[in-house]
Amino acid sequence: MTRPHEDIQHHTAVDHRPGGPGVQFAKNAWCAIDVVHVKSDRVGAGISAYETLIEEARKSAAKAASAAILRAGDDRGLLALVEVGGHDAFKHLQSAWDNHHILAEHRAVAESSKLALYQVIAVTGDCALDPQSKDAYAVEPFPTAPQQVEKLLAGLPTAPGFRGSVLIGTDDGTKSFAIYRFEHSAQIEGLRPAAQPVHPVKTFA
């Protein structure tokens, strides 16, 4: 059976093995983030498709830099983060990925997908997204402005097992989400029960 990423016209040879260097997004960086819900038996195909899309974006007008693909702990979701130069670069990326989403839905890879532009508001400690790490990662969405969330998470650095966190806000400043990195998943669960376990499976730098 043809895999989705093989149906996309591209010119880059993509290494689909998991891994990559640790990637940390800097404060104020602009990131295109795609939150994808997938069928559990199609998560591997989804990862492959996004690997190809990111490689293409890194050499295109989107001017993508560092990137990472995170896999949900229940295999029902993916989070693709791609550092872009700003609003114009995001528009180029959005146009290219919209074409893919039509194909992805046809191939039943993605049940739903939402691509949006975000900005990194705060980086605390070491929250590098590292596929080789044995640390626990999780993401938590918030329906509020990042400035409010920043106050809410102010005590995290003193928590047992804390390694780092990244706070990211939507372009319009109305919503935000945090990425956490701790030594053990139980430490995240105890502090942030609404957080959803994830782990980096592929990074680009």
Question: What are the chain's domains?
Answer: 27-203 (3.30.70.100)
Dihedral sign of CA atoms 7, 111, 30, 66 in order: negative
More confident residue, 65 or 7: 65
Most confident of 47-51, 84-88, 169-173, 177-181: 177-181
CB 192 within 8 A of CB 152: no
**26 secondary structure, DSSP code:** P
Say if residue 125's pLDDT is above 60. yes
pTM, rounded to two decimals: 0.87
Which helix (H) or strand (E) segment is 50 a member of? Answer: helix 43-58
Say if residue 8's pLDDT is above 50. no
Dihedral sign of CA atoms 28, 30, 31, 32 in order: positive
The shares of helix, strand and coil residues in the chain, as percent rounded to the nearest 5, are 30, 35, 35
CB 198 within 8 A of CB 141: no
78-116 pLDDT, tens digit each? 999 999 989 999 998 888 887 776 566 545 567 778 889
- CB atoms closer than 10 angstroms to residue 122: 18
Place of tokens 């105890």: 190
Note the pLDDT of residue 55: 86
